[in-house]
Amino acid sequence: MERTATAGPSGPPAPSGGPLPPDAVVDDGADRGADAVVAGVPAEVPRAPAGMPQQRARDTVPGGVRAEPARPARPAAGLRGLRGPHGPRPWRLLPTPAGTPFTFGYAALLAVTSLVARYADPAVVDALRQSSSTDVAHLVRAPLLVLPASALWIAGGVVSAYSLCFLLVLTALERRIGGLRTAGVFLFGHVLATLATEVPIGLAVLTGRLPDSAAHRLDYGISFGVAASLGALAGLLTPWLRWPLLTVFAGMLVQDLATFDDPMTSCGHLIAVGLGVATWPVMRRWRRARLAEAGAAPGTG
């Protein structure tokens, strides 16, 4: 806003140091700024003459250094997603329909099959498990049917250790990479570890090193997929969580293998963990893509 006097025609400027004419135009920058503050309007910044290059406005602090906005502190990679603006959120350890639809839906399906295994006629349950077993005989006849069907049963039921491990591991993995990718990791470990254990049995039967009954060995459960998912999840955790987790889990598997109760299954678990570890580069790429989709800053956590 300019202050102008329009009381009469303007005359020639007064000599330097002399009194101003009463009808002179007054354009005092200091007064204009003061009046603008009083009026509640910010004072205009004088524009550069036409044709003169101008700089883009920048946020600066005294000394000419650009002021960078303060960034909030990010939690450790292993705890990211469990800490909200008002503190820890431990309920995020468990699946929810909106947050982890794949894990939640799969867990509900496993709960149904576990109830069937507990309360249905044992003969019916045995027939269902036999028809969905990934033994050599069924893999040769209907591989596309038995490979997914065998992952509908939990060995030991919902009270087994793998049931709790399934909930915690797949929930954490799905929150980091999404539902479809988590399903892909689970199936990747389940299918490849199954083939890695059953194909040698089939070859041994063909060569006469094992009896024909070994081709009908009952084989079902989610443990291979869970082991692969745990191995993949470890690559997204901070090192102080990653290595103790892998050490404890691998130690348990080696101990099972040493007992020689079910060596093929124990070997399959170790193979599945190794498959999950092999996916670390892909997991970290998917994690960055997931964060980019959510509008967050990329990271490896």
Q: What is the DSSP string of the chain?
A: ------SS---PPPPTTSPPPTTPPP--HHHHHHHHHHHT-PPPPPPPPTT---PPP--EETTTEEPPPPPPPPPPTTTTTSEETTEE-GGGGS--TTT-HHHHHHHHHHHHHHHHHHHS-HHHHHHHHHHT--SHHHHHH-HHHHHHHGGG--TTGGGSHHHHHHHHHHHHHHHHH-HHHHHHHHHHHHHHHHHHHHHHHHHHHHTTSS-GGGGG-----SHHHHHHHHHHHHTTS-HHHHHHHHHHHHHHHHHHHHHTSSHHHHHHHHHHHHHHHHTHHHHHHHHHHHHHHTTPPP---
Best-predicted range by mean pLDDT (40-54, 74-88, 146-160, 226-240): 226-240
Residue 15 has pLDDT above 60, yes or no: no
Q: pLDDT for 243-265, tens place per residue?
A: 999 999 999 999 988 887 888 89
Better-scored residue on pLDDT, 104 or 52:
104
Give this prediction's pTM: 0.70
Q: What is the pLDDT of residue 61?
A: 47
Q: What is the pLDDT of residue 72?
A: 52
Q: What is the pLDDT of residue 168?
A: 95
Instruction: State mean pLDDT over 124-150.
Output: 94
Residue 169 has pLDDT above 80, yes or no: yes
pLDDT band at 175 (very low <50, low <70, confident <90, very high): very high
Best-predicted range by mean pLDDT (6-20, 87-101, 184-198): 184-198
- Shortest CA distance to 249 belongs to which of 276, 213, 210? 276
Task: With beta carbons less than 8 A apart as the criterion, state whether 179 and 97 touch.
Answer: no
Q: What is the pLDDT of residue 260?
A: 79
pLDDT band at 47 (very low <50, low <70, confident <90, very high): low
Q: What is the mean pLDDT of the chain?
A: 79
Which burial class, exposed, middle or buried, applies to 271 when counting CB atoms under 10 A from its CB (0-12, 13-18, 19+)? buried
Residue 77 has pLDDT above 60, yes or no: no
Best-predicted range by mean pLDDT (54-58, 82-86, 97-101): 97-101
Instruction: State mean pLDDT over 275-286.
Output: 96
Instruction: State mean pLDDT over 137-144.
Output: 94
Instruction: State mean pLDDT over 200-229.
Output: 93
Residue 204 has pLDDT above 60, yes or no: yes
Instruction: State mean pLDDT over 126-144.
Output: 94
Residue 193 has pLDDT above 60, yes or no: yes
Q: What is the pLDDT of residue 161?
A: 83
